[in-house]
């Protein structure tokens, strides 16, 4: 692979990890509560609305078209309209399935961007150091070029998230992250700081000595951003489903 292309792909991977960490670290870093108050019909409705917005945007850009503005505005205003606390996680779970809603507003949005950048910077520096120790002895041109490209890498996660255009032009933006096999223990215990059973339910949680298959869940994160009444807001909808095909639906 071209060294610069390889560096860009690694940066994209690090951005994804930084985004997931910033979205889900609330219980561990900011005292956010996990609330099992999201009833299934409402969770499914919100999932369908997010999926509809995703279909309305162009595959080439996360910016939503003008005709989607009303729906995006309504979803970003949902917490205020229902008198729900921002920052917390609203969870709906069924056997082998999990839906999570989280809204951020004002200073919480600022903290999110700061944390996402910090996670990216830490991940990038850690990867650079690992590569220097394991690869620097190789003097082939592609390895040298790759290490140089990683050293030169500078990424603004807020810029990649289109924060300034959102604030300046009042755009609504929807991006997604999908993983066929998310490690549920990494997400719950490492990122969120909660026991897997406490979030997904004891029946769906991995056993004491889990295999990789036991830990694998399908994961899709919708990240909706915009400005509502001059206040920057975010809405995150996450869908998780246990990958184990033999799981018995109750």
- pLDDT tens digits, 163-213: 999 999 999 999 999 999 999 999 999 999 999 999 999 999 999 999 999
> Which of 8-12, 26-30, 87-91, 169-173 is predicted with the least confidence, judged by mean pLDDT?
8-12
Q: What per-residue string of b and e applies to 153-192 under the rule 16 or more CB within 10 Å gives b?
A: bebebbebbbbeebeeeebbbbbebebeebbbbebbeebb
pLDDT for 85 equals 96
Neighbours of 241 (CB within 10 A): 17
Summary mean pLDDT of the chain: 92
pLDDT in tens, 6-24: 888 989 999 999 999 999 9
Whether the predicted pLDDT of 125 surpasses 70: yes
Region of 193 please: left (phi>0), alpha (psi -120 to 50) or beta.
Answer: left
Taking residues 206-226, report their average pLDDT: 96
User: Residue 226 burial by CB count (10 A; 0-12/13-18/19+): exposed, middle or buried?
Assistant: buried
CA distances to 56, 65, 181 from 113, in Å = 26, 24, 26
CB-neighbour burial class of residue 209 (10 A; exposed 0-12, middle 13-18, buried 19+): exposed
Report if pTM > 0.85: yes
Q: Which among 159, 206, 207, 154 is positioned nearest to 183, based on CA atoms?
A: 206
Running DSSP on this structure, what letter comes out for residue 175?
E
| Distance of alpha carbon 59 from alpha carbon 88, whole angstroms | 30
3-class DSSP state for residue 126?
A: helix
- The pLDDT value given to residue 238: 98
Percent of the chain predicted with pLDDT > 90: 79
The domains of the chain are located at 3-242
Find the mean pLDDT for residues 237-243: 96
Position 136 scores a pLDDT of 67
pLDDT score, position 247 = 44
> Mind giving me the DSSP string for 193-243?
-S-HHHHH-TTTS--SS--HHHHEEEEEEEEEEEEETTEEEEEEEEEEEE-
């Amino acid at each position: 692979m071209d060294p610069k292309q390889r560096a860009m792909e690694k940066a994209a991977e690090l951005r994804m990890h930084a985004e997931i960490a910033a979205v889900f670290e609330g219980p561990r870093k900011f005292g956010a509560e996990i609330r099992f108050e999201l009833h299934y019909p409402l969770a499914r409705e919100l999932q369908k609305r997010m999926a509809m917005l995703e279909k309305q945007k162009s595959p080439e850009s996360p910016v939503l078209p003008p005709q989607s503005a009303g729906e995006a505005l309504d979803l970003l205003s949902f917490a205020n309209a229902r008198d729900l606390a921002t920052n917390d996680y609203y969870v709906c779970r069924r056997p082998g399935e999990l839906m999570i809603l989280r809204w951020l507003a004002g200073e919480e949005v600022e903290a999110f961007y700061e944390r996402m950048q910090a996670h990216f910077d830490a991940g990038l520096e850690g990867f650079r150091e690992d590569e220097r120790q394991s690869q620097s002895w190789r003097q082939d041109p592609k390895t040298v070029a790759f290490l140089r490209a990683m050293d030169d890498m500078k990424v603004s996660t807020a810029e990649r998230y289109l924060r300034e255009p959102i604030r300046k032009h009042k755009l609504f933006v929807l991006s997604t992250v999908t993983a066929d096999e998310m490690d549920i223990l990494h997400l719950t215990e490492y990122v969120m700081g909660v026991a897997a059973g406490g979030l997904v339910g004891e029946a769906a949680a991995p056993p004491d000595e889990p295999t990789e298959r036991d830990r694998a869940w399908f994961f899709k994160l919708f990240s909706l951003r915009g400005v509502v009444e001059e206040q920057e807001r975010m809405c995150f909808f996450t869908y998780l489903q246990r990958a184990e095909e033999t799981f018995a639906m109750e």
